Amino acid sequence: MNKTRRIHFMKMHGVGNDYIFVDTALYPIDNPRDIAIAWSRQHMGIGSDGLVLIGRPTTGEADFSMRIFNADGSEGMMCGNASRCIGKYVYENGLTDKKQLRLKTASGIKILDLVVDELGLVETVTVDMLAPVLNDERQFLAQGEPLPDGVFVSMGNPHYVIFVDDVEDIDIAYRGARLERHSRFPERCNIEFAQVTGEGIRMRVWERGSGITMACGTGACATAVAAALTGRSGRRSRVIMDGGSLDIEWREANDHVYLTGPATLVYEGDITLQE
């Protein structure tokens, strides 16, 4: 006989990049891949870009941990938007009083700096995304079928940034889906289409494992790095996506990329899980 239990979840987003968050210290999840697929479905689930599990590391190397599963069930390496949401959740729910947190991810320890208002609410979070990797032979093959002109940047996960004249005129669904699985990307790839404007860098994204999303934190970082590398911008950029804007700084002193933006709680609730 199947057992059921209630799981409490939070629906949160960073500039439109929305995820379902579960605190696994309270609600363990044994089959996150299947749950990510089921819960992420629009109309038949909660609806999201994926599932994020908040954990407690067993060593002192980090304060909290994050595992992220895309809407197709594949496990992601890193998500800047989800990281900021975790910072907001753990602080506002009294799980920590620290305003600087160490978050363990599949791509290393990330430092989160929280800006908190007088009411104790987290206004913005800055994530130290560490240094970009420009030549990652594991995630990008130098030889293979031709690619459209672009810049490969790894921010703990692979990105290919293509600069275009009019980003609004790009068929993201068609081009993104095909480039994600291009033969040059053995681990698949996030695809960004970007256009430099007077207001900043306008970017639209096809996320590996999720498809079109309203924003991508690591994608914004990769786009800002690609723009600086190609002389299209300086080391500080505002990246404007369908869901909002993020501020990116690629510091020359340590080569680290810093991502700053808000995090928003949409709602929270309970869902029945059959086991």
Q: Counting every residue, how long is the chain?
A: 275
- Residue 237: in which H helix or E strand, if any? strand 236-241
Active-site position among 79, 85, 189, 221: 79
Pick the closest to residue 146 from 165, 156, 160 (CA basis).
160
Is 221 among the residues known to form the active site? no
pLDDT tens digits, one per residue of 118-176: 999 999 999 999 999 998 888 999 888 999 999 999 999 999 999 999 999 999 999 99
Q: Which pTM does this prediction carry?
A: 0.93
Active-site position among 85, 189, 216, 221: 216
Tell the burial category of 111 from Cβ atoms under 10 Å away from its Cβ (0-12, 13-18, 19+).
Answer: middle
Sorted by where each starts, the structural domains of the chain and their CATH numbers stand as: 4-130+261-274 (3.10.310.10), 151-255 (3.10.310.10)
Is 216 among the residues known to form the active site? yes
What pLDDT does residue 275 have?
75
